[in-house]
Amino acid sequence: MTKYLYLLIVIAFVSCSSEKSYKREADDFQFSYQIDTVMVDAGEHFFFLNWGLSLSGVSKDRKYLYNLNPQDLLLEVVDLDNLKFKEAIKLEKEGPNGVGGGYISSIQVLDNGNIMLYDFNTIFEITPKGELVEKFDFDSKNLNGYDLGEMNRLSHRGLFTGDGKTYAAPISGNSYPVSSKGLGILDKETKELQFVPLDMFADLDKFQIALEMEGGGTMSTGESFFSQFEEDQLYVSNSAFNEVYVYDIELDSLSHHTFNSQLTENARILNFPTNVTTREALFDASGEKNKQIQFGPFISDPTNSLYWRFSSEGKDNSDDTFSNDYYLTFFDREFNMLKEQKIENFRGIPETFIKDGMLYTFLNIDDELAFVRLKPILE
């Protein structure tokens, strides 16, 4: 298998023009970058890359990446300091350490190294060696505080704080169409549930495209929302609007930050059908929507006291093909927008994390694990 090596070095220094505004002297914020690609030494192991790294998480110290192979229930561990395969841990479906055989949609690595596996209706907490610590099903009968009633539920598509003590997720209806009215904030120890109204979900529902299928079923595609904890603050953003919501758990306060881009649109518009009758029409409507601006999640960069956010905007080319332009925006820790810039020689942004001040983006090279690394030069 391949050794740790550099496949490609693309150096792109970009001249910057500054914009006046914001608290952190945005007019003095200068940015250029270098890009390279590195391979991970897999030894004799074959990484599960069928789903990209959509079922992966990185430890708090950025030393290890955990990638789940859901087909074999195998937890693959990558040593990020040395860019090599470390070990594979076999998880159990049943028994005292069983994590079931259901559908795991995401994973999260806690500050203590334990790993949360988010299944459809249960969340499993395991040690880095695969030992079951606890499982959560959030049965409304066992919760205090906000009353979910018969028609609502606390979603299992949420996340915990780094210490694992608080859980946040949308509160939504039990029947289709599933619509969320806000967030549920749950104290894991006391089982106290708090409801935080959030209009964002209703705004995103407007862009959902639904296909009524024969037999009464429905297929739909909608917008993405992103959430992350930083200490006692929860940040929630989405793919359709140039904004972020900040909820402070200790103060029980919600603030809303909106931004004004000079390079892209600031919101999607409804210029496509939202109810279709064929799969082809669903794909066509989704394609039309995806030509519009799409905002990515905020990516925390504690080394430089910044947040990064990528966005993309589609365009039709002269040869009847379709492609995306990519943009990178920097924010300070108070979400003042410092700099936005078009990024050249850059591909899509599927799964990313920041280590040692560099952005790592997953890349599959001939079924082997690699990362494109973007190193910012900040002045």
47-58 pLDDT, tens digit per residue, is: 999 999 999 999
State mean pLDDT over 24-51. 86
77 contacts 59 by C-beta, under 8 angstroms: no
Most confident of the ranges 71-85, 198-212, 275-289, 320-334:
71-85
Most confident of the ranges 8-22, 43-57, 165-179:
43-57
Q: Radius of gyration (Cα) for the chain, nearest Å?
A: 21
Q: Please give the pLDDT value at position 25.
A: 54
pTM for the whole thing?
0.87
Concatenating the DSSP letter of every residue in 278-330 gives SHHHHHHHHHHHTTS-EEEEEEEETTTTEEEEEEEEEEE-TTS-EEEEEEEEE
Q: Please give the pLDDT value at position 271.
A: 93
State mean pLDDT over 1-21. 32
Q: Which residue has the tokens 């795991």?
A: 104
Model confidence at 1, pLDDT cuts 50, 70, 90, reads: very low
For the stretch 164-169, contacts whose Cβ atoms lie closer than 8 Å and that sit 24 or more positions apart, written own/partner, are: 164/110, 164/111, 164/112, 164/114, 164/116, 164/125, 164/188, 165/189, 166/229, 166/249, 167/136, 167/138, 168/227, 168/229, 168/234, 168/247
Kindly report, residue by residue over 186-226, the tens digit of the pLDDT.
999 999 999 999 999 999 999 999 998 777 778 888 899 99
